[in-house]
Amino acid sequence: MELRPPTAIKFGTDGWRAVIAEDYTFDNVRACAASVAQYLKKHGLADRGLVVGYDTRFASEDFAAAVAEVVAAAGIRVMLSTTHCPTPVVSYSIIDRKAGGGVVITASHNPWRWNGFKYKPDYGGSASPEIVDEIEAPLPSLVGRKIPALEIEQAKRDGMVELFDARTPYLAGLGRLVDLDRIRAAGLRVAYDAMYGTGAGYFAPLLEGGTTKLTELHGFRNPAFPGIHAPEPIARNLQELSSALAGGGYDVGIATDGDADRVGIADERGTFINQLQVFALLAYYLLEARGERGPIVKSVTTTRMVQRLGELYGVPVHETKVGFKFLGPKMMETGALIGGEESGGYGFRGHVPERDGILAGLYFLDFMARTGKRPSELLAELYAKVGAHYYDRLDVALRPEDRDAVWQRAGRARPDAIAGIKVTGIDTTDGFRFLLDGKGWLLLRFSGTEPLVRIYTEVVDDESLVPKVLAAGREMIGV
């Protein structure tokens, strides 16, 4: 029998992810932990300790313990969450506890068979490409080696591993960013889908005590994520939430993904408000309802509605590659008011430079409480400002051997028109984005976290163009 070669651990748009028991093994997680320990020592961060948290996936708490054992054996104190918690809670804890960095055991929105390893630097956001390169560099020499580890119970007795409550300080921090009393008194009827993930139990204490009422769906742990393809808050995975809203009795639906750093919103009729619309609505809320000003940072895959808002409110808009490892540093560099990406991840000034689905959901509720309007009315108001924009995305699974050929076809493509619309430019910031003569754009790129090619489009005014543009993109690359 031929043996598998050692795993090549590569970090994507936010951490390393792999299939559990295939490449995602305790040995490989320990190798990642050893590299993080080396990084902390090299940069003089070891004395500040490492925060470790984990999600609700299969054995995540055991993988987190393995990280703690390795880092403790390296002489670095570990602050280990007492229970599963959202990724933004870990990021917040890094700042709150002045730690040298943090690790989250999570595969975010991936299907149930996956798990992952995210490293968060001392600034409490996604690791920049430079930091990722440093953590990846030693891995080939660490994978397959016996990594020293201090057994978890012994590490606790020795004071090298401390269990801590990550939740309470984070909830208090959110209360300083948004007027919870106004939301509680607004009489909103909120349906929240935790998607069996780490967001379960977070909205209830924030909203209780007034006339606003919360109903929580899938607020318990089930690593198989039954009934949904994956814990990603997009329309196809939120049928139960949409059905509850369509039945009447609710004003808004909110969902967060597996590690609660992304948000999905459905309106009072159960209609999903897509991620690009939500980003524009949150930017509009901050600029109009709160009267704040500051730069907006966006990835190439998200909406051009924010460019229009930037023009209307006199704020600059910066564009980056996909992933908060690009967005977060740009937000810090520019003092951005908000940053967002097409996946439903949004970060905010005054908080950590990190996606936070719980804070995004609270801000959306505050928008409703301030205006007295339902989600469909807020979207209509936004469209009156910037024009109607329509979006969709196709995810096409690829065999590894097909990847290069698909990308070569994309690189050679120079169409004069797509779906009958003149192509006025091609942008290669991240993938291939074709600009469609004032009517929108089509983008082709590989996923940074899964073996997929993604085909995206956003068009203006005419929703019927969306499937035509996507079909043209698919034909272009032969998938």
Regarding whether 430 and 334 lie in a shared domain, the answer is: no
277 within some domain: yes
182 within some domain: yes
Regarding whether 379 and 395 lie in a shared domain, the answer is: no
Intervals of the chain under pLDDT 50:
1-4
Regarding whether 410 and 363 lie in a shared domain, the answer is: no
Tens-place pLDDT, residues 143-172? 999 999 999 999 999 999 999 999 999 999
Regarding whether 88 and 62 lie in a shared domain, the answer is: yes
171 within some domain: no
Tens-place pLDDT, residues 310-346? 999 999 999 999 988 899 999 999 999 999 999 899 9
Tens-place pLDDT, residues 36-76? 999 999 999 999 999 999 999 999 999 999 999 999 999 99
4 within some domain: no
For residue 345, which of 333, 363, 360, 331 has the smallest C-alpha distance? 360
pLDDT score recorded for residue 408: 86
Regarding whether 291 and 187 lie in a shared domain, the answer is: yes
Regarding whether 429 and 300 lie in a shared domain, the answer is: no
H helix or E strand, kind and range, residue 62:
helix 60-73
Regarding whether 186 and 225 lie in a shared domain, the answer is: yes
Regarding whether 243 and 157 lie in a shared domain, the answer is: no
The model carries a pTM of: 0.94
Q: Are 438 and 460 in contact (CB under 8 A)?
A: yes
Please state, in angstroms and as integers, the Cα–Cα distance from residue 102 to each residue in 61, 93, 437, 461, following that order: 15, 9, 45, 44
Grouping H, G, I as helix, E, B as strand and the rest as coil, residue 200 is coil
Containing structural domain, residue 120: 16-166
pLDDT score recorded for residue 6: 55
Q: What dihedral do alpha carbons 138, 327, 122, 41 form, nearest 10°?
A: 20
pLDDT score recorded for residue 306: 97
DSSP 289: I
456 within some domain: yes
Q: Please state, for a pLDDT cut of 70, what percent of the chain lies above it.
A: 98
CATH code (residue 57): 3.40.120.10
Regarding whether 359 and 230 lie in a shared domain, the answer is: yes
Grouping H, G, I as helix, E, B as strand and the rest as coil, residue 18 is strand
Regarding whether 187 and 132 lie in a shared domain, the answer is: no
Look up residue 61 and give its two tokens: 């708490």
Q: Where are the beta strands (DSSP E) in 138-260?
A: 161-164, 189-193, 213-217, 252-256
The neighbour count for residue 219, using CB atoms within 10 Å, is 18
11 within some domain: no
Regarding whether 49 and 71 lie in a shared domain, the answer is: yes
